[in-house]
């Protein structure tokens, strides 16, 4: 589908996964970081994904990992039949290669210089060429000692600079009220939302999910203008 992609993250329940997929979300995120209020155990995630597939829903699925060993990431991707891994901790660039490029990196830069440096580090393959992953990066808000899920908004001017060069997922503090402005300002490859469409951590508001997806779809989008 043309236009920005939508990732609904922090899925913990089958009914929320179904609501997001039926609303037209392009990607669903499952968080395997045990300290997160949106944590889901791999066997439960496997049941949710199997149920989605059995219903003919083929939304891309993403596992969110924080400083997990590559063996655990690979085994979880296989167990849950997930498409991609989102590395949301302090993982080194080499881990992307260890995961056979089935992964992309979340970064939380505080300055444009940090953003450019992190982007270069995490979007190069072993030969030094720019990797062609889509998304190449997820951009989240920087909060000391926290690995996302804060509800804090990213510096959109910083994000705009990255989005002009890389296919990024924009995260951090997005909700129905500001996603249109975020898209017009940043022009990202896609947007990622968790707390902005929730009743409580890990429990989605199905009406907000549908409204958020519709708000993204209703934004004018011209690939040539990016």
- Residue range 15-46, pLDDT digits in tens: 999 999 999 999 999 999 999 999 999 999 99
Question: What percentage of the chain exceeds 70 in pLDDT?
Answer: 89
From the candidates 16, 26, 80, 140, give the one annotated as an active-site residue.
140
My answer on whether omega of the bond before 47 falls inside 30° of 0, hence cis, is no
Model pTM?
0.92
Is residue 140 annotated as a catalytic residue, yes or no? Answer: yes
CA distances, 62 to each of 126, 158, 186 (Å): 23, 25, 23
From the candidates 9, 16, 26, 45, give the one annotated as an active-site residue.
9
Determine the Cα–Cα distance for residues 47 and 159; give it in Å rounded to an integer.
35
Is residue 26 annotated as a catalytic residue, yes or no? Answer: no
Cβ atoms of 29 and 7 within 8 Å: the answer is: yes
Band of the pLDDT at 2, cuts 50, 70, 90?
confident
Tens digit of each residue's pLDDT (9 = 90 or more) over 141-150: 865 555 555 5
Determine the Cα–Cα distance for residues 65 and 43; give it in Å rounded to an integer.
15
Residues forming a β-bridge with 178: none
Average pLDDT of every residue of the chain:
90
- What mean pLDDT do residues 168-172 have? 95
Backbone angles phi, psi at 159, to 5 degrees: -65, -40
84's tokens = 């991609």
Q: Which CATH architecture has domain 5-218?
A: Alpha-Beta Barrel (3.20)
pLDDT at 97: 86
Determine the Cα–Cα distance for residues 72 and 4; give it in Å rounded to an integer.
31
């Amino acid at each position: 589908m043309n236009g920005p992609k939508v990732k609904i993250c922090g899925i913990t329940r089958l009914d929320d996964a179904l609501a997001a997929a039926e609303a037209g979300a392009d990607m669903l995120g499952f968080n395997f970081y045990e300290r997160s209020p949106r944590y889901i155990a791999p066997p439960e995630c496997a049941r949710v994904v199997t149920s989605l597939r059995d219903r003919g829903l083929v939304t891309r699925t993403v596992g969110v990992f924080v400083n997990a060993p590559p063996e655990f990431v690979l085994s979880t991707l296989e167990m849950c039949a997930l498409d991609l891994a989102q590395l949301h901790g302090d993982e080194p660039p080499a881990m992307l290669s260890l995961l056979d490029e089935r992964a992309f990196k979340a970064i939380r830069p505080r300055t444009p210089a940090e953003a450019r440096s992190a982007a270069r580090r995490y979007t190069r393959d072993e030969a030094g060429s720019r990797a062609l992953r889509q998304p190449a990066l997820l951009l989240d808000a920087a909060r000391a000692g926290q690995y996302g899920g804060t509800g804090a908004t990213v510096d959109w001017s910083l994000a705009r600079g990255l989005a002009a060069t890389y296919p990024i997922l924009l995260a951090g503090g997005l909700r129905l009220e500001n996603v249109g402005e975020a898209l017009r300002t940043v022009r990202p490859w896609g947007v990622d939302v968790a707390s902005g469409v929730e009743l409580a951590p890990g429990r989605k508001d199905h009406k907000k999910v549908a409204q958020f997806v519709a708000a993204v779809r209703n934004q004018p989008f011209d690939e040539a203008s990016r």
